[in-house]
Amino acid sequence: MTLAARVGIACASVMSVGMVVAGFVMRAAIYRSLDPFAQHFLMMRQMMGSGPDLQRIFLVVDRAMWLSTIVAVVIGCLISLLIGLDLSRSVVTLRRGLDRFADGRLTETIDARGPAEIQAIAESANRMARQLHRAQEAERELVAGVAHDLAHPMTAMRGTLEAIGDGLIDASDARTIRRLLADLVTLEEILADLRDVAAVEAGRIRLSFDDLDVERVAASIRDAYVDLAARKGIALEFAGSGCTLARTDERRLQRTVANLVVNALQATSPGGRVRVGTRADGGYAVVFVEDSAGAEAAARIRSALEDGAGSGLGLRVVSVLSSALRAKVDVRQSEAGAVVEIWLAMPPLRTDGATSRRHDQHVAGPTQ
């Protein structure tokens, strides 16, 4: 039995019962009102030869009651059937839309009409589908970014090993070993980034917070990538402001800033400039990376950090790890490109001159 038929039968049944009950109540009230005058009506007929016939009056009342009940039930059935059909169409539309979502067609929204409750369910389902679609797009971007990032060191290692096999490079040469080790370290860093992203999103990452000189971290990252920048024809500069302390996890901060530097080097054309540095601002230590990647650089980075659009692995790591570190990420446009700033809380001042000690913290769940 369809939903429309069930609704119609239920409404008609309720209306029928209501009309019958109302009819009997009205009948009883009429009987109670006229019954005291039965003797008067009888005497009137005997004396005058004519007068009200109470039995006929009761018969007319009964017929009128049953006729009105039947008419009301028929009308109620028709109205209930129309309501049921409208509700049934809304539910069928909702079910077909959910079936499309189950088949993976997440961009085909549900246009449900009818009661407000059905429309609210449809809107919730549409919102869920949009979120799932964005998550799928972000995962596709992540997989593509990982494949792209892994391809470079693996291709370099393969080329080096093939050259060794062909006798073009001496395997015992220290430069060859350093090159292979550098490519291996790059692979390890990519895998570590993947583990951290998965751990944060699963709520299972353990962070080691300590009072850290973020200027030292920024300077070490600049030193690590200055040769890569030189090979690309880009000037990688450092702008320090003295010792700047922040309470954070050193390894995760290094990976966050390193990914920003790599992203800036990839986006900046040869002859450009990338600057990494630190400054203190109020109660925060700020680590910044500035590139010269053009007028749309900030918009691209902001879109990648917020929506995962075109971010690959690098900016996904920045977004996830900065959130796990409870750091604020600010992106703004400069004259030549974009400036990305990571705002980290400074450690509280100690009146006894002692430094705060290191402590571990477990992130209980995704913070994005």
Give the domain CATH number at 351. 3.30.565.10
Q: Does residue 149 form part of some domain?
A: yes
Which of 154, 182, 199 is where one domain is finished? 199
Same domain, 215 and 158: no
**pLDDT given at position 201:** 76
Phi/psi of residue 309, nearest 5 degrees: -75, 115
Q: Does residue 87 form part of some domain?
A: yes
Q: Does residue 368 form part of some domain?
A: no
Same domain, 195 and 209: no
Q: In this structure, what DSSP letter does residue 344 have?
A: E
Which of 97, 114, 131 is where one domain is finished? 114
Q: Does residue 283 form part of some domain?
A: yes
Query: Residue 236: which H helix or E strand, with range?
Result: strand 235-239
Helix, strand, coil share of the chain (percent; to 5): 65, 15, 25
Same domain, 267 and 287: yes
Same domain, 262 and 329: yes
Tell me the HSE value of 18 on the side-chain side, using a 13 A CA sphere: 9
Phi/psi of residue 344, nearest 5 degrees: -115, 140
Same domain, 180 and 220: no
Q: Does residue 127 form part of some domain?
A: no
Q: Does residue 128 form part of some domain?
A: no
Domain that holds residue 274: 205-362
Rounded to whole angstroms, how far apart are CA atoms 268 and 292? 6
Same domain, 330 and 247: yes
Rounded to whole angstroms, how far apart are CA atoms 271 and 187? 28
Q: In this structure, what DSSP letter does residue 351 have?
A: T
Same domain, 215 and 330: yes
Work out the widest C-alpha separation in the chain, in whole angstroms.
Answer: 142
Q: What is the mean pLDDT of each run of 10 residues along the chain (368 residues)?
A: 56 66 73 72 69 72 78 76 77 87 87 80 90 80 74 84 86 85 85 83 82 91 89 90 85 91 91 92 91 89 74 78 90 91 83 50 48
Same domain, 188 and 261: no
**pLDDT given at position 190:** 82
* Number of independent structural domains in the chain: 3
**pLDDT given at position 13:** 66
CB atoms within 10 A of CB 317: 28
Give the closest residue to 285 by CA, choosing from 322, 251, 248. Answer: 248
Same domain, 108 and 244: no
Same domain, 99 and 145: no
Q: In this structure, what DSSP letter does residue 347 have?
A: P
Q: Does residue 222 form part of some domain?
A: yes
Same domain, 23 and 103: yes
Same domain, 8 and 144: no
Q: Does residue 350 form part of some domain?
A: yes
Quick one: tokens of 86?
A: 């409208």
Which of 150, 170, 199 is where one domain is finished? 199
**pLDDT given at position 364:** 46
